[in-house]
Amino acid sequence: MSIGNAMKFIKKVDNDASFRKSLYQLQGWDGLSVFLSSEDLTYSEGEFEEAFNHLHTQCQEAEDADRLYNVRNLVNLIINATK
């Protein structure tokens, strides 16, 4: 597990519509974890937050930050889908 994987995941969700659409069927952290393993992008929830914070500090425009928050919101929806 690594922050690097979380950063790759965030960028891939932002840039790859088909990858992003494949996330819509996932439910809960367990479902996301299985998907991440299949994509060789495993990371922990804490590592996701660290990657998010790091990428957020690099945002130069509001649109960049908005896209980043959209990824975070999608991940939160997946994680909370079974709660």
Cβ burial of 2 (10 Å; 0-12, 13-18, 19+) is: middle
Both tokens of 70, joined, read 């959209």
In terms of Cα–Cα distance, which of 15, 78, 17, 19 is closest to 45? 78
- The distance from CA 68 to its chain's CA centroid, rounded to whole angstroms, is 9
**Contacts for 3 with CB less than 8 Å, ≥ 6 apart:** 43, 47, 50, 51, 54
Q: Which residue has the tokens 């960049």?
A: 64
pLDDT of 1: 55
pLDDT band of residue 62 (cuts 50, 70, 90) is very high
pLDDT of 81: 84
* Averaged pLDDT of the chain: 94
Give pLDDT tens digits for 25-48.
Answer: 999 999 999 999 999 999 999 999
Give pLDDT tens digits for 64-73.
Answer: 999 999 999 9
Give pLDDT tens digits for 6-31.
Answer: 999 999 999 999 999 999 999 999 99
Q: Which residue has the tokens 């928050």?
A: 69
Q: Where are the domains of the chain?
A: 3-82
